[in-house]
């Protein structure tokens, strides 16, 4: 009887501890207020893209600010966290861009500032000298930034061509079936 109680206690501890460790693994790159702003933008692709661009600019400014601080374990840990959040947010924006482009949402007004911002972000990331504490996160952020920059430039060109041919669909959030 006693071994069963011990086994049951161990299983209960494991079930309680598993969700806690999962929560620590993936921090949310956005605050609750920012998440609410994204929700309020709803299905407005340019509005959502502009919000993501704004939030990414804020993260880039934090990374740039940390760049000039003296090297320490705390700085390296903070940069690693910021770079991981930055990468996660860029990937999330890229997924949104894929979804919006599939439905031919007119994103041109938001893509131009995004392409300009990606160049700025990549400049900040490349200027950041790699250190063992955050070098992997830095490399992943640069790779994600390059992917996002390429995607935004490609989509801007595709959208310009598409909406030149389909002038009646310009400004729409999705193409209506004909």
For each of the domains in the chain, give its residue range(s) and CATH number, in order of start: 33-169 (1.20.120)
Burial code (b: 16+ CB inside 10 Å, e: under 16) for 131-156 equals eebbbebbebbbebbeebbebbeebb
Q: Predicted confidence band at 20 (pLDDT cuts at 50, 70, 90)?
A: very low
Per-residue model confidence as pLDDT tens digits over 30-80: 889 999 999 888 778 999 999 999 999 999 999 999 998 888 999 999 999
In tens, the pLDDT along 157-177 reads 999 998 888 777 776 665 444
Q: Which of 64, 89, 63, 68 is closest to 78 using CA atoms?
A: 63
In 3D space, the residue among 60, 172, 62, 69 whose CA is nearest the CA of residue 124 turns out to be 60
- Decide if pLDDT at 137 tops 90: yes
């Amino acid at each position: 009887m006693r071994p069963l109680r011990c086994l049951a206690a161990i299983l209960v501890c494991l079930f309680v501890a598993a969700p806690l460790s999962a929560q620590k693994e993936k921090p949310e790159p956005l605050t609750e207020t920012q998440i609410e702003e994204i929700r309020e933008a709803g299905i407005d692709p340019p509005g959502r893209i502009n919000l993501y661009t704004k939030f990414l600019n804020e993260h880039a400014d934090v990374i740039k600010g940390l760049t000039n601080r003296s090297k320490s374990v705390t700085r390296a840990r903070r940069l690693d966290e910021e770079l991981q959040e930055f990468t996660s947010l860029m990937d999330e924006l890229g997924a949104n861009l894929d979804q919006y482009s599939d439905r031919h949402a007119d994103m041109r007004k938001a893509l131009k500032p995004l392409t300009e911002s990606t160049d700025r972000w990549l400049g900040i990331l490349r200027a950041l000298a790699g250190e063992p504490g955050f070098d992997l996160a830095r490399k992943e952020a640069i790779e994600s930034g390059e992917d996002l920059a390429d995607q935004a430039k490609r989509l801007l060109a595709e959208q310009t061509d598409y909406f030149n041919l389909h002038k009646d669909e310009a400004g729409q959030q999705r193409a209506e079936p004909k």
